[in-house]
């Protein structure tokens, strides 16, 4: 069963879908067996290149990879690893450290090379952190409660947390992964699940009560809810996403969160002059690879060069939709200067009425600022990787 599921993942099927199908087909498994299956699928899917190195065979089949994981990374005996993986005779494993960044941290060669170019000496640390699960981070809803009161409420529900260091809205879950969606505090709209780095993007916009604010690439609307809370549910909050289906549940989430100022747009906004525009653009998502253990192997390297044109058009639209004296925040969750700094600098060359301003002056941790832009990353801040530029339009 595990070998069949792993073979599907190694062939390119998303690990979460494969695991879900497998568990549905084997409902008689115990809780321990289900957990063991999940760990096998995710860890072998993630570590496949390093496991192939240990086996001396980059094309090793799923049972052999599972054996190498159980014995070398999970620390089981050769006999127990062989029994659980079904390999029969335990294969010999290579000793010593893998010779390349790609093999050490189980990355496609092109992606390891990209991170080396982007991050230089810190690429090793960054890639190591991509193989560690990210924390479960919550964003308090100030329309309903405070961070301190939420922590107490969660404690009463059996969930321990600690405050985030970067966002005043963040709480990190401490201990075993809880069933958050079974909590009354979530049903009452006291919090949303949101990475701390993602929270910084909404904070950089500095939305205020009574303003007209546009969330131009809203996705499922998590940052829309954050902006509504910053506006104290007063003003006009427009939200749009090219994939209209992603916004279908937003109004339900608004009701739960006590938000009534959101207007969902079903076509691209035109003729709007907003006080502030958030353009959290679609990107290659290299900053969130730790959230999907096998996503790195399903990526198309061509996207890194194809996306900047789309991102440039989005930022140009954001610039047309913000009023004189207003603010645009351009953001991505990737580590790729072509999608980040180069898009912004190209926009500034074409738009002399805009200027780059320091992000989060007076409140943002200076370690999150690089060359005048927001940059946070798992190896530096414990967040996913995020980039943002704060742009202000001059008064005309």
217 assigned to active site = no
321 Rama class: left (phi>0) / alpha (psi -120 to 50) / beta: alpha
Rounded CA gap, 303 and 36, in Å?
Answer: 34
Kindly list the distances between the CA atom of residue 260 and the CA atoms of 107, 143, 234, 256, 393, in Å, as whole numbers in the listed order: 44, 11, 9, 10, 28
Find how far residue 332's CA is from the centre of its chain. 10
β-strands 262-264, 191-193 pairing = unpaired
Q: How does DSSP assign 104-137, residue by residue?
A: HTT--HHHHHHHHHHHGGGHHHHHHHHTSPPP-E
State the CB neighbour count (10 A cutoff) for residue 45: 28
Nearest to 299 by CA among 130, 90, 156: 130
Which entry of 127, 254, 283, 333 is annotated as an active-site residue?
333
Residues with catalytic function? 333
């Amino acid at each position: 069963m595990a070998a069949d599921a792993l073979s599907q993942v190694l062939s390119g099927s998303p690990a979460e879908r494969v695991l879900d199908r497998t568990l549905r087909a084997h409902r008689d498994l115990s809780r321990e067996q289900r957990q063991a299956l999940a760990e096998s699928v995710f860890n072998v899917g993630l570590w496949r290149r390093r496991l192939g190195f240990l086996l001396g065979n980059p094309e090793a089949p799923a049972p052999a990879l599972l054996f190498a994981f159980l014995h070398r990374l999970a620390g089981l005996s050769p006999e127990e690893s062989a029994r659980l993986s079904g390999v029969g005779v335990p294969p010999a494993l290579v000793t010593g450290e893998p010779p390349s960044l790609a093999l050490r941290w189980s990355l496609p060669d092109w992606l390891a090379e990209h991170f080396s170019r982007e991050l230089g000496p810190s690429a090793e640390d960054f890639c190591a952190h991509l193989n560690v699960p990210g924390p479960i981070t919550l964003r308090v809803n100030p329309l309903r409660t405070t961070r301190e009161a939420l922590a107490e409420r969660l404690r009463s529900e059996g969930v321990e947390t600690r405050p985030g260091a970067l966002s005043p809205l963040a709480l990190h879950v401490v201990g075993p992964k809880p069933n958050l969606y079974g909590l009354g505090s979530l049903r009452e709209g006291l919090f949303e699940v949101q990475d701390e780095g993602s929270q910084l993007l909404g904070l950089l916009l500095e939305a205020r009560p009574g303003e007209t604010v546009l969330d131009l690439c809203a996705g499922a609307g998590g940052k829309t809810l954050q902006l509504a809370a910053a506006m104290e549910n007063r003003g006009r909050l427009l939200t749009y996403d090219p994939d209209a289906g992603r916004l279908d549940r937003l109004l339900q989430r608004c009701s739960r969160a006590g938000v009534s100022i959101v207007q969902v747009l079903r076509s691209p906004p035109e003729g709007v002059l907003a006080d502030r525009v958030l353009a959290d653009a679609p990107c290659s998502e290299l900053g969130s690879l730790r959230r999907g253990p096998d996503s790195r192997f399903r990526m198309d390297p061509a996207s890194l060069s194809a996306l900047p044109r789309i991102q440039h058009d989005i930022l140009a639209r954001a610039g047309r939709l913000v009023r004189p004296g207003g603010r645009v925040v351009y953001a991505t969750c990737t580590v790729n200067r072509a999608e980040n700094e180069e898009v912004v600098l190209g926009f500034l060359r074409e738009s002399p009425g805009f200027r780059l301003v320091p992000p989060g002056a007076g409140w943002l941790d200076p370690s999150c600022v690089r060359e005048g832009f927001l940059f946070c990353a798992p190896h530096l801040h414990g967040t996913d990787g995020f980039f943002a530029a704060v742009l202000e339009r001059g008064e005309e």
